[in-house]
Amino acid sequence: MENKKDKKVLLRISNLKQYFEVKKTSMFQKEQLYVKANDGISLDIYEGETFGLVGESGCGKSTFGRSLLQLYKQTDGRTMYYGRPLDEIAPRYMEETLKNLPAKMKALEAHQAKVELLQKEYDNLKTDEEKYTMHGKLKEAKKIANDAFLDIAQVIGGFYISKDLGKVSATFLKEYHANVALCIAKEELRKLESEFEAIKAEKEEKKVSKSEIDAALAKNKAKVDAAKKDVETKQEIFNAAKQEIDAMKKDYAGNAEFDKYETYLDEGVDLARLTEEEIRRLRKDLQLIFQDPYSSLNPRMSVGQIIGEGLNAHKVFHKNKDKMQDYIMQVMEDCGLAPYMVHRYPHQFSGGQRQRIGIARSLALKPKFVVCDEAVSALDVSIQSQIINLLLDLKEKENLTYLFISHDLSVIKYISDRIGVMYLGNMVELATTTDLFAAPMHPYTEALLSAIPTTDVDDKKETILIEGDIPSPIKPPTGCKFHTRCQYCTDICKKVVPEFEEVTPGHFVACHHKRNVVESK
Amino acid sequence: MALLEIKDLHTFFDTKKGTVKAVNGVSYSVDAGKTLGVVGESGSGKSVSAMSILRLLDNNGRVDSGEIIFDGKNIQDCTKKEMYKIRGNDISVIFQEPMTSLNPVFTIERQLSEPFIIHQGMKKKEARKKVVEMLAAVKIPNPESVAKQYPHQLSGGMRQRVMIAIALACQPKLLIADEPTTALDVTIQAQILKLMNELKKEKGTSILFITHDLGVINEMADDVAVMYCGQVVEMAPARKIFTKQKYSHPYTEGLMESIPRLDTPTGVRLEAIPGAVPHPLDLPKGCKFAPRCKYATDKCREEEPALVKIEENHQIRCFYPDKEMRKDGK
């Protein structure tokens, strides 16, 4: 796809792993077993698109959605989020990297040396069998080295080649601390301003005289002004720190190597490494719509409270109740709920309306990215289409990005721009909706597509049946995980894990025999 | 000749808040060796109408009026003992949830041999042989070892196969399948549907197939009954329901348009049916579908239409069955 480069990446997930520990069956069991719910998933999600995720139950699609939002702490991998400028978040892990820069550099060198050693050993191996066992080790070592490298390069960019790491570390730290101070000052100002507005609105409502209002506000006004000044001074310090870095860059002007590493600078925030408080602040941007509208709403809270909970938690309308109430009404109207419903409780609603409440709750915070986890699966057919239409309308209006998880291929096809097919914790195929349905390349996708019952009476297509059930994710099959049920399976499938590679532009497949699948059509 | 015929069936539930008319005048019939698909949203009375046949209703439910004629005999007159003989022998059921419909404390063998011992008077040893045969018939790999296992050791698809084996044990004349594949994944669903179709062909069993999935109905059914609010609103051969016809009920039309299909172009809005199914205690006067129907007139809101035969094999409960006339607003 050519236009892919124009689109802005919102989330870049690389090698996401989510393992759950399995309880040991006896005290003598030595080996700790894991349910490998997600086993190394990499993909980009672009801003404004709907990414559909399909697969059978137990393939890890819901886990993936939740790990993305860090509702489960992901075991391994990077989840870079580009929805906000890095300066606004100023994550703690950056400080940590900057502080220990020399030590980290040393560790990186050790990793790289190890990779080189392994690579030499690998090149000297003769039989394929040996090579294969070695390959896994080599890959793992490369991955660790690469991660360590990215940790550093993403933060300091071109200064990676600098000899005087101590100075780089000190300068960057200075900038970082200035930035953090600025963020805090800004937040304080926002809070005071909002408080100021609230007091003003309250007094005006009580119809007290103008002089009284002014008296009450004078104190707050002084506070706001002080905060404003504070922000200004902090901003200056921050700018000065930035200029210092720019000055350092001048030494490297025209240095090709410096420019090469400078491109590694990353404006994204790695969600997986944020502290709990940091991710909590980001939750505003990252929301979830649940499958079951019955159990996902608190039965003891009224609709207004449910929708307002997030607004309160994030102090969007700081102490300004009237404004918040108006806003809740606005959100309810957008989601097709009547204003009189605001004081009702969840049990008074039908399934479709409850799902609307769930949608209103997640959209109230004006998120950028929403995970819809089987959002329409529990609804009746006639209600399902209402909710799908609503989701599409809201997406258009708010420029949302969806990760739409469903097992229903017809719905996925209708709603998604791109589709990822998952099997047993891995992504097996990823393509645009048209490509995927026109020319599926993975045998599993092919079978999945043919298994959907259609309402077309003249449909004569042969259903490709996959025999058997999904294997256990605790002990997944070796090699290609699908080989136990695959009709094209050969020896290589049983031994070698297929790479997830781009076959045609934008069309990724993990299969040894993908071309066979196309040819057999 | 019809194997099962339900005539003007009314099944009511007495609740604290009043009588819920779950099934309100339903008539349909299943021909020998054919499959009737009953489709409708939740609460439309599709399961209740089928459970009324076997008297498997909750304690507060009762068949108020109507006839259920099975194999030329009104089984409403049967005593409890006679019903025992019919259940599992002449008519058997496959339930939706394969997890809860098998008894977790008994082995598959024990549960599957039950119908042989009860209905055919077999000894345990004989029954055991039959069990393995049945498990093989529903294509379970290594039936001998599966027979010794407990339900929790099997996957959802396997459990549903066991349920089918139990249901088919005594070669019933009628099989009631109540959403048998709803809880299963598509690939497993395809396996089960294929199996049911094969067994139907082989043994000539009639099937009453209940589901909310129109795609599944299309794969399985010969005839289709569309239900809404405890009534059949349209009944026709599957072909007529799924192809463009001159006549159809507005609800069927809406359902067909509202499901996203594989050939629905993206970007085109789905035609959603507005509103929701009315509460069973607060049904509208006149046509039950009128509040959600885009063609509804004053007549629809006042009078209730009857299920009328429009053409051969095609019944519709609507004052304006003709699609063209409806659109012109007549």
Of A432, A358, A373, A370, nearest to A401 (Cα)?
Answer: A370
Q: Which residues of chain A from 27 to 66 reach within 8 Å of chain B, CB to CB?
A: 56-57
Residue B293 contacts A, CB cutoff 8 Å: no
> What pLDDT score was predicted for residue B39?
92
Residue A379 contacts B, CB cutoff 8 Å: no
Q: How far is B136 from B141, CA to CA, in rounded Å?
A: 7
Residue B282 contacts A, CB cutoff 8 Å: no
For residue A425, give both structure tokens: 């914790």
Task: Assess contact for A380 and A347: CB atoms under 8 A.
Answer: no
What confidence tier does A4 reach under pLDDT thresholds 50, 70, 90?
very low
Residue A3 has pLDDT above 50, yes or no: no
Q: Can you tell me the mean pLDDT for A181-201?
A: 83
Task: Assess contact for B173 and B71: CB atoms under 8 A.
Answer: yes
Taking CB atoms and an 8 Å limit, are B266 and A447 in contact across chains? no
For residue B254, the chain A residues in CB contact (below 8 A) are 382
Q: Can you tell me the mean pLDDT for A287-307?
A: 90
Chain B nearest-CA distance from A323, in A, is: 30
The helix (H) or strand (E) run that includes residue A403 is strand A401-405
Task: Please spell the DSSP secondary structure of A240-285, one letter per residue.
Answer: HHHHHHHHHHHTTTT-HHHHHHHTT----EEGGG--HHHHHHHTTT
Max mean pLDDT among A233-242, A508-517, B254-263 falls in A233-242
Question: Which of B245, B262, B273 to probe by mutation at the A interface, max A CB count within 10 Å?
Answer: B262
Q: Can you tell me the mean pLDDT for A240-258?
A: 83
For residue A45, give both structure tokens: 């999600």
> What pLDDT score was predicted for residue A1?
34
Q: Which fold has domain A3-85+416-519?
A: Rossmann fold (3.40.50)
Residue A219 has pLDDT above 90, yes or no: no
Question: Which of A385, A389, A390, A432 to probe by mutation at the B interface, max B CB count within 10 Å?
Answer: A385
Chain B nearest-CA distance from A361, in A, is: 21
Task: Assess contact for A21 and A32: CB atoms under 8 A.
Answer: yes
Which residue type sits at A359? I
Task: Please spell the DSSP secondary structure of B28-86, one letter per residue.
Answer: EEEETT-EEEEE--TTSSHHHHHHHHHT---TTEEEEEEEEEETTEEGGG--HHHHHHH
Residue B229 contacts A, CB cutoff 8 Å: no
Residue A192 has pLDDT above 90, yes or no: no
Is beta strand A369-373 parallel, antiparallel or unpaired with respect to A401-405? Answer: parallel
Could you tell me the end-to-end alpha-carbon distance of chain A, in angstroms, rounded to an integer?
Answer: 24
Q: Can you tell me the mean pLDDT for A450-478?
A: 79
Residue B203 contacts A, CB cutoff 8 Å: no
> What pLDDT score was predicted for residue B207?
94
> What pLDDT score was predicted for residue A369?
94
Would you list the domain boundaries of chain A? 3-85+416-519, 86-266, 287-366
Residue B238 contacts A, CB cutoff 8 Å: yes
> Dmax of chain A from CA atoms?
93
Residue A371 has pLDDT above 90, yes or no: yes
What confidence tier does A521 reach under pLDDT thresholds 50, 70, 90?
very low
pLDDT digits (tens, 9 = 90+) for A132-160: 778 778 888 888 888 888 888 888 888 88
For residue A231, give both structure tokens: 């922000």
Q: How far is B303 from A284, CA to CA, in rounded Å?
A: 52
In whole numbers, what is the pLDDT of chain B averaged over residues? 88
Q: Which of B141, B256, B262 sits opposite A452 (nearest CB)?
A: B262
Quick count: other Cβ atoms within 10 Å of Cβ B229?
24
pLDDT digits (tens, 9 = 90+) for B156-187: 888 888 998 999 888 899 999 998 888 788 88
Q: Which residues contact A92 (CB under 8 A, 6 or more apart)?
A: A274, A275, A278
Residue A418 has pLDDT above 70, yes or no: yes
Would you list the domain boundaries of chain B? 100-171, 252-327
pTM for the structure as a whole: 0.85
Calculate the dihedral angle through the C-alpha atoms of B79, B84, B86, B90, rounding to the nearest 10 degrees: 180
> What pLDDT score was predicted for residue A423?
92
Residues belonging to chain B: 330
Residue A516 has pLDDT above 70, yes or no: no
SS3 of A292-342: the string is CCCCCCCCCCCHHHHHHHHHHHCCCCCCCHHHHHHHHHHHHHHCCCCHHHH
Task: Please spell the DSSP secondary structure of B194-209, one letter per residue.
Answer: HHHHHHHHHH--EEEE
Residue A386 contacts B, CB cutoff 8 Å: yes
HSE value, Cβ hemisphere, 13 Å, CA-based, for A36: 21
Residue B133 contacts A, CB cutoff 8 Å: no
Q: Is the dihedral of CA A316, A318, A319, A320 positive or negative?
A: negative
pLDDT digits (tens, 9 = 90+) for B289-309: 999 998 888 989 999 999 999
Taking CB atoms and an 8 Å limit, are B212 and A382 in contact across chains? no
Max mean pLDDT among A46-55, A451-460, B185-194 falls in A46-55
In whole numbers, what is the pLDDT of chain A averaged over residues? 85
Q: How far is A205 from A325, CA to CA, in rounded Å?
A: 15
Q: Can you tell me the mean pLDDT for B11-19?
A: 90
For residue A350, the chain B residues in CB contact (below 8 A) are 276-277
Residue B187 contacts A, CB cutoff 8 Å: yes
Task: Assess contact for A419 and A54: CB atoms under 8 A.
Answer: yes
Q: Can you tell me the mean pLDDT for A216-229?
A: 82
> What pLDDT score was predicted for residue A2?
36
Which residue type sits at A429? E
